[in-house]
A and B are shown apart, each in its own frame.
Chain A
Amino acid sequence: MMVFIKSIRFKITILYMGILAITLTSFSVILYHNVSRGLYEHMDTLLVSKAGGIAQSVDAYWEAAKFEEAENAQVAEATKKRRNVNFAKAAQRWAQKESDDPALIDIIVQVFDTDGAIIASSKTAKDMPEISQKGFLPILQGKSKFYTTDSGDRAGRMTFRIFTTPVFESEKVAYIVQVASPLTSIQVALTNLRVALFILFPITVLLTGIMGAFLAKMTLKPVDHMIHTIHQITANNLELQLKVPSTKDEIQNLAETFNRMLTRLKEAFTSQRQLFEDLSHELKTPLTIMKGELEVALKKVRTPGDYESILKSSLEELNVLIKLSENLLFLARADSKEVMPQKRELDLNPLLQGVINSIRRLAELKHIAVSFDAPAAIRLYGDEDQLKTLFFNILDNAVKYTAENGAIGVRVVKDRSAVNIEIRDNGMGISGDDIPHIFDRFYRIDKSRNSAGFGLGLSIAKSIAEAHDGAISVESHTPGGTKFTVLIPIKKG
């Protein structure tokens, strides 16, 4: 269960539902608000126009009655609507005859005089709530007014929208028309809308949730497959690859990326395994010699001279093992950046001269001439011991692979930011197949152990150069010779 709750499927589904719920809620609120406002505005517009129509209609009744009155009494006073009994009568007549008009269905009409007394009202007006005198004041001043109120306290309680407007005569309020309409239909419509929204809301959210879960499942199906495959991948079967869906989407991208990572991992594992195999091979030779020689020696009693030569031989092999472990330790530390070079300012030329002097002793055995060509003094930042090892390893390599009577040249070229040390020999050269591997650990061009060394020298040289933010490059021709170029930046630190 926990797994499911934490799954992307579940999260996506919940997210879908959440977003939809928020969207739907705001949509519903806005819709409801707009519909509601529209209905009320429409109602208000209707009431205003009805009130206007009623006033005209009442006036028409009054005009008709006024002619009759005028015949009876030619009093100017009597022609005014304001506080005129005759006007009231005309209005009542209008109410009698016209308030049943289909146009006034659901409209309750009351006509007041300026004292606030009802002078006429439609038949349905008994449902109308009372209007307080206070409420009349602004109307007498010539303002129209809307308000909403509940009718009485009867069981069939209804809400009304009421519009009260003065009717003018000679710029004075002559009488007041009040129209009211029950809000029942609007309320019913809004209730229905609310119910619809409340029912549709959870259904929609739920449906979306189900569909979202399904979609998420469909979308993540390849991911499940990948997880299944990845579970089977161990260090021993890195050749296993993910099936790449050709969907051109993130999933495909993920699968391809993962496969590329697997390939890189496999390469790393292979080279690591190769390293261990090479290492065990390097260890085995001196161990085989020591074990074999000692076992053969112990088969019978020997002369002191025999024992001495066997012990000397064992010591030689022990020294080989010690040298090997030192080299390995150096590389391991360089890999883990455990030993940073102890850099300080030093003169390059004496350092190189020292290395060249010690290499000359080896070179003389093969009658190889070693020349040194350096510019004016060069000072750089570096670890003296490490730099010595670097140049010794390259020169030692050059001596090994250069035939008798050959020549080795060391040249120092300085430019603004770096110093290039070129070590050139006219030896056998390195073939194109070997060039990419010569800096690999335990890589020996001569596969047998005939040539001395472990194949670690150049690898160590490269580590040192890199620890000095420099680089080693190699150029070789078979035959013709090899040129190693060591680049060391001059910058401080």
Chain B
Amino acid sequence: MRILVVEDEKKIADFIKRGLKEEGYAVDAAYDGEEGYFLAKTNNYDLILLDLMLPRMDGLTLCKKLRGEGLHTLIIMLTAKDTVKDKVLGLDSGADDYLTKPFAFEELLARIRAVLRKKDGGLPTVLSVEDLVLDLVTHKVTRAGKEVVLTAKEYALLEYLMRNAGSVVTRTMISEHVWDADFDTFTNVIDVYINYIRNKIDSGQAKKLIHTVRGRGYVLKS
């Protein structure tokens, strides 16, 4: 899952970015409204965390502009403005959720999971394919009842594959949703990570779940 944080207060942007990365999200940060707009239009984000008081273009305008241009990326507004009027304005401008500062980081994570779940048509908090189970809340992964320990990046990659279970995901799709803007597309990092999770999930198992589709990408299926 790739997330854009638009927040002019650098320290806030930084801790959100750090915290989300540790949860396995790919995170980019923009420090003003125009940069946020540019990044949102350029990259394919799953979710945008949007501050309202921004230099150059305020959050409400940015949100309306993106929605007006047909961009349906999930948006959670993050702001110190906490009156009912502000919340109504924010949600009506096209945001999917609204969180007031200061917030508990756990709540931010839960809300991110909630809006992502809703977008996927109300998926449960647990993804499973055959005997492979991934808990979106606890980040616990088990294969045939045995816990599989993954790094944050490995987890993010597996989550992405499981969300798209049964359909082919290309390397480009993976790079856009699992890696952030610092990712160098010319390296074979994706193949390396696919290899890591294959070793942890499929090795020693009778049934292989991760398959390579030659010339296109990968698919996770039973």
Please report A residues at the B interface, Cβ cutoff 8 Å: 277, 280-281, 284-285, 287-293, 295-296, 299-300, 313, 317, 446-450
Contact = CB atoms under 8 A, between A and B. Distances in A.
A291 B19 contact: no
B100 to A, nearest CB: 8
B15 A293 contact: yes
B12 A291 contact: no
B184 interface: no
Nearest to A295: B105
A287 to B, nearest CB: 5
A455 to B, nearest CB: 13
Given A449-B9, A449-B53, A284 B105 contact: no
Interface of B: 8-9, 11-12, 15-16, 18-19, 22, 32, 53-55, 58, 80-83, 101-106
A449 B8 contact: yes
A448 B12 contact: no
Contact of A448 (B18, B19, B53, B83): B53
A183 B32 CA distance: 114
Nearest to B18: A296
14 contacts: A284-B80, A284-B101, A284-B102, A287-B102, A289-B11, A289-B12, A289-B15, A291-B102, A291-B103, A292-B103, A296-B19, A300-B22, A447-B53, A450-B32
Given A285-B9, A289-B15, A450-B55, A295 B81 contact: no
A295 B9 contact: no
A281 B86 CA distance: 13
Contacts of A317: 11
Contacts of A446: 55
B114 to A, nearest CB: 18
Contact of A292 (B19, B54, B58, B80): B19
B11 A295 contact: no
Summarize A's interface: helix, strand, loop or mixed: helix
A182 B12 CA distance: 117
A448 B8 contact: yes
A448 B103 CA distance: 19
A296 B15 contact: yes
Nearest to B86: A277
Contacts of B9: 285, 288-289, 449
User: Which 8 residue pairs across A and B have the least CB separation, nearest first?
Assistant: A296-B19, A288-B102, A284-B80, A295-B105, A288-B101, A448-B55, A292-B15, A293-B15
Contacts of B82: 280
- Best-buried of B11, B81, B103 by chain A (most CB within 10 Å): B11
Contacts of A448: 8, 32, 53-55
Given A296-B22, A448-B55, A449-B53, A285 B15 contact: no
A486 B220 CA distance: 73
Contacts of B101: 284-285, 287-288
Given A288-B12, A289-B9, A448-B8, 16 more contacts: A284-B102, A285-B80, A288-B9, A288-B101, A288-B102, A289-B11, A290-B102, A291-B102, A291-B105, A292-B12, A292-B16, A313-B11, A447-B55, A447-B58, A448-B54, A449-B9
A290 B104 CA distance: 11
Contact of A295 (B8, B19, B55, B58): B19
A280 B100 CA distance: 12
A286 B58 CA distance: 20
Given A280-B80, A285-B9, A448-B8, A292 B102 contact: yes
B80 A288 contact: yes
Contacts of B12: 285, 288-289, 292
A337 B55 CA distance: 37
Nearest to A289: B11
- Best-buried of B12, B15, B83 by chain A (most CB within 10 Å): B15
Nearest to A292: B15
A293 B8 CA distance: 16
B103 to A, nearest CB: 7
Contacts of A447: 53, 55, 58
Contacts of B18: 296
A249 B22 CA distance: 75
A300 B22 CA distance: 9
Contacts of B32: 448, 450
Contacts of A295: 19, 104-106
A328 to B, nearest CB: 17
Given A447-B58, A448-B53, A296 B105 contact: yes
Contacts of B8: 448-450
B55 A292 contact: no
Contacts of B15: 289, 292-293, 296
Nearest to B108: A292
